[in-house]
Amino acid sequence: MPTLNEQDRQIGFLHHMNFSELGLSPRTLEAVTAAGYTTPTPIQAEAIPPALQRRDVMGLAQTGSGKTAAFVLPMLSLLEKGRARARMPRTLILEPTRELADQVREAFETLGKMHNLSVALLIGGVAFEPQALKIDRGADVVIATPGRLLDHFERGKLLLTGIDMLVIDEADRMLDMGFIPDIERICKLLPFTRQTMFFSATMPPEIQRLTTQFLHNPVRVEVSRPSSTAETITQMLVKAPHEQKGKREALRQLLKTQANVKNGIIFANRKTTVALLEKSLSVHGFSVGALHGDMDQSARLKTLQGFRNNEITFLIASDVAARGLDIPEVSHVFNYDVPTHAEDYVHRIGRTGRAGREGAAFTMVTKEESKQLKAIEGLIKKEIPYFDLSEDAQAAIETRGAEPDRPRRERDGRGERGGERRGRDRDRDRRPRAIKGHGERAAMEPAPRVERAPRIERAERATPAERPAREERSPQKPTASATPPPQKPRRERDRSDRHPQRDVSDAPDHRGFTEQTMPAFLMRSVKI
DSSP string, 61-105: --TTS-HHHHHHHHHHHHTTSS--BTTB-SEEEE-SSHHHHHHHH
Q: What is the pLDDT of residue 428?
A: 46
Cα-based torsion angle of the residue sequence 76, 82, 83, 84 in order, rounded to the nearest 10 degrees: -80
Q: What are phi and psi of 194, to 5 degrees?
A: -70, 165
Q: What is the pLDDT of residue 46?
A: 92
Mean pLDDT per 10-residue interval, the chain, length 528 residues: 40 59 92 88 92 92 80 94 86 90 90 90 91 92 94 93 92 74 90 90 73 87 75 92 92 91 92 92 93 80 87 89 70 93 86 83 94 92 87 53 42 43 46 44 48 51 49 47 54 49 52 67 77
CB-CB contact of 312 with 264 (8 Å): no
**Distance between CA 39 and CA 205 in Å, rounded?**
32
CB-CB contact of 306 with 282 (8 Å): no
A 10 A CB-CB count for 413 gives 11
**Distance between CA 348 and CA 315 in Å, rounded?**
13
Q: What is the pLDDT of residue 252?
A: 94
| Full-model pTM | 0.60
**Distance between CA 442 and CA 444 in Å, rounded?**
5
Q: How far apart are the first and last CA of the chain?
A: 99
> Can you say how many angstroms the Cα of residue 378 is from the centroid of all Cα atoms in its chain?
30
User: In 3D, which of 265, 277, 279 has the Cα closest to residue 322?
Assistant: 265
- Answer left, alpha or beta for residue 157, where phi above 0 means left and psi between -120 and 50 means alpha: alpha
Q: What are phi and psi of 518, to 5 degrees?
A: -70, 125
Report the amino acid identity of residue 252. R
Report the amino acid identity of residue 381. K
Strand partners, 228: none
CB-CB contact of 90 with 165 (8 Å): yes
Q: What is the pLDDT of residue 522?
A: 76
